Amino acid sequence: MTSLTNTLGPLPLATSASWPARLAAPLRRAGHWAAGLLLPLALFALWQYAVDRQWLAEQILPPPSLVWQSLGELWHSGELRDHLAISLTRVGWSVLLGGGAGLALGAALGLSRSARAYLLPSFELVAQFPVVGWVPLLIVFLGIDEALKVAAISLAVLVPVTVNTHRGIAGIPRPLLDVGRVYRFTVPQTLWRVVLPAAAPSLFNGLRQGVMQAWLTLVFVELLASSEGIGYLMVWGRQLLQLDLVVVAMLAIGAVGLALDLALRWAESRLASWRRGAF
């Protein structure tokens, strides 16, 4: 990246020649931060200005202060936490179910040639259908209760986890398995000491994609058919024409999505370091 930078243009904030070198790096980092904040601040100012000038009706564009106030109220009354807890419980169960099934299916596809021959074409076909397309069908079979949400979200988790597990296991370099044979590893030993560590990055990739898909599907299912949860908060806010509720719910959705992603990344780096330590 640095050399691309050097070739295509000088670093914008690299005017540190006159400063002591110690100060330059943190200052530059602060500069990067400040630059990143500029656009959100401008948008925020535009929002406030639009409200002041009443470009849009107040019901449609609530002032930032109102959104902030609703956020505080919803948080203090515990309503926001309740909705989030319900949504996260749904995602948790689905990740457990869909992830477990995906792991088993992906491992079977990766390890066994006959499982691949029997199941892979069918799986690839089914995986083509977007999960949201299944939802109306699932509604008929399962009703609109928890079962529907967990089933739909589990399906969304299952596909990326299976695909990545399968690829991770199928992509293990032959020499690693050869070494395992030289050491006369039994099958469980081979699985635990060769297959699992070698496929771990891919497994984690699948899990991360799965969780992101789960969060997306959750929002959709709750928008479509729910009476509680963070997606329902949005529907409710829209029906009452309280756009501040909608914006608060969106903020919560974004924040939770970000937190999930960061948590998984952190867990992955922890596990990866453990993995290196074990060998």
Partner 1 sequence: MSAYSSVLTLDPVLPTQAATPTPRPRRRLWSALGRALLAWPFPLAVLLLWQLAATYEWVPSQILPSPATVAGTFADLWRSGELQDNTAISLWRVLWGFSAGATLGFVLGVAMGLSPLTKDYLYPTFKTFAQVPALGWLPLLMMLVGIDEALKIILIAKASLVPIALNTYKGLQNVPTTQIELARVYRFSRWQLLRHVVLPSAFPPIWNGVRYGLTHAWLALVGVELLASSEGLGFLIVYGRQLYQLDVVLAAVVVVGAIGWALDRVLAVIEKRLLRWRVEGF
In the complex with partner 1, which residue's Cβ is closer, 254 or 273?
254
CB of 127 to partner 1, least distance (A): 9
In the complex with partner 1, which residue's Cβ is closer, 147 or 277?
147
In the complex with partner 1, which residue's Cβ is closer, 79 or 124?
124
What size, in residues, is the chain?
A: 279
CB of 57 to partner 1, least distance (A): 10
CB of 37 to partner 1, least distance (A): 7
3-state SS, the chain, equals CHHHHHHHCCCCCCCHHHCCHHHHHHHHHHHHHHHHHHHHHHHHHHHHHHHHHCCCCCCCCCCHHHHHHHHHHHHHCCHHHHHHHHHHHHHHHHHHHHHHHHHHHHHHHHHCHHHHHHHHHHHHHHHCCCHHHHHHHHHHHHCCCHHHHHHHHHHHHHHHHHHHHHHHHHCCCHHHHHHHHHCCCCHHHHHHHHHHHHHHHHHHHHHHHHHHHHHHHHHHHHHHCCCCCHHHHHHHHHHCCCHHHHHHHHHHHHHHHHHHHHHHHHHHHHHHHHHHHHC
CB of 123 to partner 1, least distance (A): 9
CB of 78 to partner 1, least distance (A): 22
In the complex with partner 1, which residue's Cβ is closer, 50 or 274?
50
In the complex with partner 1, which residue's Cβ is closer, 36 or 277?
36
CB of 277 to partner 1, least distance (A): 26
In the complex with partner 1, which residue's Cβ is closer, 92 or 143?
143
